[in-house]
């Protein structure tokens, strides 16, 4: 295995629909923070996105938008490898190779396949079933040491580790076995209308989620309409999912502990608290929206960034694919 000065991190995000406050607080904000301590490789996972049918024009627009948002939150392409997944052929190549070392039963047990099959019953395709193998290829292609994971991605990292371990057992020390990375800060942001469910851009209720690029007035309206309980007491407790969610969001943005948040709003009602959370979110996202407008106005710059990032990623990827094929026995 190659020796590196810093541990390598790989992460990717799909360009499907508008990125939400949940994406930002749960992942993207930490992407920026991790660049200080790790060698970071970040991908826009456009290959993963087509497991669900996409409108071509909207798809292309969202690929540009996703890159612009990543730059707007502070990802520096001079210090980070940032690229489109589809621009590096190694992702598709290694995915096929690893699919021959992935068991049918392993894929059958993946909860995301079961969930998405129910949501998209008219399009239960092979890509949706084999999605975890492509994700494993994404990670193993760069011999990532660490992968930031949330609760809904742990199963995918587990199967990645299983595939890598199986391949290494057969052919020797080929892949780095990736470890999960749990960021020091972050929040699992729940729906504003159903706080027992994760905030999702696919939610048909537009008041349930906040987009990173939402206008301030829309953000305030959504928080003022956020579902809470009838207790009117701001504290963390079982059965208070709505308030628990709002406290988590406010805490993640302000850096205050749960106890500090509860003390700050002691004696105040839900109306005051919802307004405060909404205002904190507006101010957190304001500079991102402003920088986004600058980046998205220059498509050529975005294309150049994608291209340069893909060149760096492809150099690593080709070496990995070549090594894997040689180990399997392919003729050069």
Count the Cβ atoms, other than its own, within 10 Å of residue 49: 20
Dihedral angle sign, alpha carbons of residues 204, 207, 212, 216: positive
Exposure of 97 in the CB half-sphere (CA atoms within 13 A): 25
From CA 137, how far away is CA 88, in angstroms rounded? 12
Widest distance between CA atoms in the chain = 73
Tokens of 132: 């975890």
Which helix H or strand E contains 167, and what residues bound it? helix 154-171
Say whether 274 is catalytic.
Answer: no
Q: Which of 116, 222, 240, 274 is catalytic?
A: 116
In the annotation, is 198 catalytic? Answer: yes
Active-site residue flag, 300: no
Q: For the chain, count helices (H), then strands (E).
A: 14, 5
* Tokens matching residue 187: 């929040």
Q: Measured between alpha carbons, how far is 206 from 248 in angstroms, rounded to an integer?
A: 21
Beta bridge partners of 184: none
Rounded Cα distance, 141 and 37, in Å = 21
Backbone phi and psi for residue 209, each to the nearest 5 degrees, phi listed first:
-140, 155
Which one, of 140, 115, 143, 136, lies nearest residue 52 by Cα? Answer: 115
- Residues 88 and 310 sit within 8 Å (Cβ to Cβ): yes
**Residue 149, token pair as written in the block:** 């994971």
Q: Tokens for 256?
A: 């205050």
User: What is the rounded CA–CA span in Å between residue 224 and residue 233?
Assistant: 16
Task: Please give the Cα distance from 152 to 111 (Å, whole number).
Answer: 9
The strand pairing partners of 8, in sequence order, are 39
Of 201, 224, 233, 308, which is the active-site residue? 201
- Token pair recorded at residue 135: 């994700």
State the catalytic residue, choosing from 198, 222, 240, 274: 198
Active-site residue numbers?
A: 116, 198, 201
């Amino acid at each position: 295995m190659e020796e590196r000065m810093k541990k390598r991190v790989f992460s990717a995000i799909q360009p499907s629909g508008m990125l939400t406050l949940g994406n930002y607080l749960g992942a993207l904000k930490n992407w920026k923070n991790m660049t200080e301590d790790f060698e970071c490789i970040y991908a826009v996972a456009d290959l993963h996105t087509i497991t669900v049918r996409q409108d071509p024009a909207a798809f292309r627009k969202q690929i540009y938008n996703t890159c612009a948002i990543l730059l707007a939150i502070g990802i520096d392409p001079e210090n980070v490898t940032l690229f489109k997944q589809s621009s590096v052929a190694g992702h598709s190549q290694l995915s096929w190779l690893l699919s021959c070392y992935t068991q049918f039963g392993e894929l059958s047990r993946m909860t995301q396949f079961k969930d998405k099959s129910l949501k998209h019953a008219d399009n239960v395709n092979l890509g949706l079933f084999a999605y975890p193998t492509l994700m494993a290829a994404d990670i193993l292609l760069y011999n990532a040491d660490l992968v930031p994971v949330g609760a809904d991605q742990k199963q995918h990292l587990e199967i990645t580790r299983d595939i890598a371990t199986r391949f290494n057992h057969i052919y020797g020390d080929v892949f780095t076995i990736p470890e999960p990375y749990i960021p020091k800060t972050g929040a699992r942001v729940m729906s504003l209308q159903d706080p027992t469910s994760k905030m999702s851009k696919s939610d048909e209720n537009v008041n349930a989620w906040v987009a990173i690029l939402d206008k301030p007035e829309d953000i305030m309206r959504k928080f003022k309409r956020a579902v809470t309980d009838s207790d009117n007491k701001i504290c963390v407790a079982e059965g208070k999912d709505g308030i628990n969610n709002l406290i988590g969001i406010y805490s993640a943005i302000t850096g205050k502990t749960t106890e500090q948040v509860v003390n700050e709003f002691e004696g105040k009602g839900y109306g005051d608290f919802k307004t405060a959370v909404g205002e904190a979110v507006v101010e957190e996202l304001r500079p991102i929206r402003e920088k986004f407008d600058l980046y998205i106005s220059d498509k050529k710059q975005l294309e150049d960034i994608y291209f340069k990032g893909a060149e760096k990623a492809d150099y690593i990827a080709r070496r990995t694919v070549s090594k894997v094929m040689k180990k399997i026995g392919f003729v050069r």
